[in-house]
Structure 1
């Protein structure tokens, strides 16, 4: 069986909304079979970049390549068999149950003459077990807490069974224990099934802990990228986030740990006064 190339990259990418440019002439490579985490201050372009990687935004310049093929030339169903995307704020129609929503992840794999199969059922059941929502299968989505809803959406993405998964702030609405569960699940999918995972996260410690490859953005461009230990520094935190901080090894994991001190502007003001 031929090996399918699932490499993902942006070349000369420029993105924007109406007359405002968000991402400007950006080049990025997502290492295949690794966990990549994108971080940056609010409005730096990280979610815009992720949507473009998913083929949901048409660039004004540049290309997104999946396996060397421009995603704009792929049919929606073909792209959805290879790449799954979970947005920040997903919504479902009123009355849809957990099982029904997770089952929608199987749409790209269904054929005209065979609408449902045992493979579909296995994928849906496995995804719900993996995310801990199996006991909610008959509940309506609009009856669930924010954290429960988020896990259901992740289950739908898992049921899609794509080799590349893009998740925009997947820990939103989750308490710290469930945040860890989601990130550990992403790491297991990567390590055991070799899925390529791309996450947008706000928590820098979590980003450094779970990323193989870290992308730090500032002002629509990539400030630094590479292994977390090589990328995350006090200078990078100050430049990307306007924050003075200590960066030191985590006492348990050894990954970079960011200890905030104060916004750079506050420090400058104190010096001036």
Structure 2
């Protein structure tokens, strides 16, 4: 398993940095959730970890090697990314979309191999989307569509999978459905998962490792019980809350009370 690590990472979009001098090692073979208030730099960090955003300073290492040293094809064989609200090509079926995940493993003019077909079948089965193979992606529900995109990323057959808000725009039932798929991939396939989540209680339930951010920096990292404390919620979110045991999973559950009087968010 390859570790993913940021060292003194600074990221931005040409103006003031969004993430500044951030150092972080993400545990291999675990599900990590990036959490924090809006504008704190979660999605920016994920883009930096995936090489979509070139660092203004510092570096990202995959297995001890700088991400900038990988060719595009080589990196795509090791690291997969599911961006927020991906755009689906018109008129494409589920099977066709999932098969696109095999592109990094194919030559320019090569046809689908037996290995490619097996990877696509395994991805469809792992995400419970085999029965949807002939359906148009545009016709699917939000939860089904997210599972299909995850299947495409899984067909890519990487050891690391980055997900930017995979439950956005989903109702609670569909959000749980998608997170169960992610948990299965981690437990059964050993995939290292890093995902941005807004729902703190779902993050506590589904991630073994949490990274709490505020103002472009990491304020706490570790298990849910260590990160989701009342003091951290007050300082990072500007939120008065009680943290109790989830009656189903015994993981920490945040019960909001009210905002604290003063809280400043980044834009």
**2: CA distance, partners of 1:149 / 1:191:** 22
Could you give the per-residue CA deviations for residues 98-121 of structure 1, whole angstroms, max 9, x where no partner exists? 211111001111235643112211
The runs of 5 or more residues in structure 1 that have no matched partner are 267-273
TM-score by length of 2: 0.93
| Partner of residue 7 from structure 1, selected from 3, 14, 20 | 3
Of 115, 126, 133, which aligns to 1:119?
115
Matched, 1:78 2:77: no
CA distance in 2: counterparts of 1:29 and 1:93, whole angstroms: 35
Equivalent residue, structure 2, for 1:190:
186
Deviation (angstroms), 1:153: 1.0
Measured after TM superposition, the shift of residue 23 of structure 1 is: 0.2
Structure 2 equivalent of residue 271 of structure 1: none
Q: Please, what is the CA RMSD of the aligned residues?
A: 1.7
Q: Is the 8 A contact 2:147 2:181 kept in 1?
A: no
1:169-228 CA-to-partner distances (Å, cap 9, x unmatched) read: 111233322222222222222222221111111110111111111100000000100111
Divergent runs of 4+, >6 A: none
Q: For 1:114-263, what aligned pairs fall within 5 Å after superposition?
A: 114-263=110-259
Separation (CA, whole Å) in 2 of partners of 1:103 and 1:192: 21
Q: State which of 103, 119, 124 in structure 1 corresponds to 2:99.
A: 103
Shift of 1:34: 1.0
| 1:140 to 1:114, Cα distance in 2 relative to 1, 3 A | same
Measured in 2, the distance between the counterparts of 1:151 and 1:79 equals 23
In structure 2, what is the Cα distance between the partners aligned to 1:190 and 1:145?
A: 24
**Residue of 21, 43, 50 corresponding to 2:39:** 43
Q: Paired residue for 2:265?
A: none
Find the aligned partners of 2:177 and 2:137 in 1 and give their Cα distance.
20
Q: Deviations over 1:106-140 (max 9, x none)?
A: 11112356431122112212222332332322232
Larger Rg: 1
Whether 1:19 aligns to 2:11 is: no
Q: Is the 8 A contact 2:36 2:237 kept in 1?
A: yes
Q: 2: distance between equivalents of 1:211 and 1:155? A: 20
The equivalent residue for 2:28 is: 32
How far did 1:8 drift?
0.5
* 180-189 or 150-159, larger mean C-alpha shift: 180-189
Are 2:58 and 1:62 aligned? yes
C-alpha distance after superposition, 1:212-266 (max 9, x if no partner): 1110000000010011111210111111111111011112211111001111139
